[in-house]
Homo-oligomer: A and B are copies of this chain.
Amino acid sequence: MSEPKAKGTLIIIGGAEDKNADKTILKTFIAATGKNNPDIALVTTATNSPVKAAEVYEDILSQLGAKTVHPIHISSREDTSDSDNIEILKSADGIFFVGGDQLRISSILGGTDAHKAIRESYLSGRVIAGTSAGASMMSEIMVVEGKDDEAPRKCTLKMAPGMGLLEGVIIDQHFNQRGRIGRLLAAVAPNPSVLGIGIDEDTAIIVDSDMNFKVAGSGVVTVIDGKTIRYTNISEQNQNEPLAITNVMLHVLPSGYGFNIINRIEITKEDKKADPNGKDNKEEAK
């Protein structure tokens, strides 16, 4: 789906972000709004325990400076036209999606006025963040279901259309913690034009309007670039046989590193140091 160039920021979190110690990622979310005391809309659609989830995030985000945290408890398609909710989504400095089931987000919000308000908020320069299911739903195609700790297989992977905020990628979360390289490889193999991005727990990518992302948090982001694939048997193999995929390019990026989604090139700390405003990069023998 083609759309006007996004002007906002996406913060895509691999789940289980730290809520007790440094709170690095949630602080990054608040900071990205550009305000010390932003208004936050908290979308609880993914979870079956919306009130509980809202309490947790209201507490923390308020502690971190949020002026107001408005829970948006949309749990059915009927709720999506509620004018109060739409107003809040349109006016909030940042929108945060809690975790749960990404299929709840897409099946309840997809194509509604609320969805439209969220897209417009993003295009107008606001910050949209999501954790776990709230991360998966960001892309046009999302992983809905797949086995953890398994070789790549067609039969165990289910995908569905996501919320379409980020084009050309497919996100997976809880990545190394749940052993999800197999399912992300199986998601990329059908069409290597899509970039696979696996985000660890307590780790996030911050995507700017030029489609550069940088990594924050305690884990890593694993990028699977299938453009170099020489061979895959995905179109011929039986559903329950494991996939063959050769010559996939892989990048592992911890905090401070980044990636350009368009050009598919990593951004290292050295690249920053080479910046005229950066510090000298002194090498030391040891």
Which residue numbers of A lie inside 8 Å of B, CB to CB? 148-152, 176-179, 181-182, 185, 200, 218-220, 224, 228, 230-231, 233, 241-255, 257, 266, 268-270
Which chain B residues border A270 with CB–CB below 8 Å? Answer: 231
Which chain B residues border A185 with CB–CB below 8 Å? Answer: 252
Contact A244–B249 (Cβ < 8 Å): no
Most buried by B among A149, A177, A230, A269: A149
Question: Could you list 11 A-B pairs, sorted by A, with CB under 8 Å?
Answer: A149-B149, A150-B177, A152-B220, A176-B181, A179-B179, A179-B181, A181-B181, A231-B270, A243-B254, A248-B250, A248-B252
> Can you name 5 extra interface pairs (CB under 8 A) apart from A220-B243, A242-B255, A245-B250?
A148-B179, A151-B200, A176-B181, A220-B242, A241-B254
Which chain B residues border A257 with CB–CB below 8 Å? Answer: 244
Other-chain residue from B178, B182, B200, B244 in contact with A253 (beta carbon distance below 8 A): B244
Other-chain residue from B178, B231, B252 in contact with A179 (beta carbon distance below 8 A): B178
Most buried by B among A151, A253, A266, A270: A151
Tell me whether A251 and B242 are in contact in the complex, defined as CB-CB below 8 angstroms, given that A176-B151, A178-B179, A233-B269 are known contacts. Answer: no
A253 to B249, CA, bound (A): 15
Other-chain residue from B150, B219, B268 in contact with A151 (beta carbon distance below 8 A): B219
From residue A225, how far is it (CB to closest CB) to chain B in Å? 9
Contact A244–B252 (Cβ < 8 Å): yes
Which chain B residues border A228 with CB–CB below 8 Å? Answer: 249
Which chain B residues border A233 with CB–CB below 8 Å? Answer: 254, 268-269
Other-chain residue from B243, B246, B251, B266 in contact with A268 (beta carbon distance below 8 A): B246
A3 to B172, CA, bound (A): 45
A177 to B179, CA, bound (A): 8
From residue A99, how far is it (CB to closest CB) to chain B in Å? 18
A241 to B257, CA, bound (A): 13
Residue of B nearest to A231 (CB): B268
Tell me whether A242 and B219 are in contact in the complex, defined as CB-CB below 8 angstroms, given that A176-B179, A252-B152 are known contacts. Answer: yes
Other-chain residue from B150, B151, B246 in contact with A251 (beta carbon distance below 8 A): B246
Other-chain residue from B151, B177, B230, B251 in contact with A247 (beta carbon distance below 8 A): B251
Which chain B residues border A181 with CB–CB below 8 Å? Answer: 176, 179, 181
From residue A236, how far is it (CB to closest CB) to chain B in Å? 8
A181 to B200, CA, bound (A): 13
Which 9 A-B residue pairs are closest in the complex by CB-CB distance? A179-B179, A151-B220, A246-B266, A242-B254, A248-B250, A245-B252, A246-B251, A220-B242, A151-B176
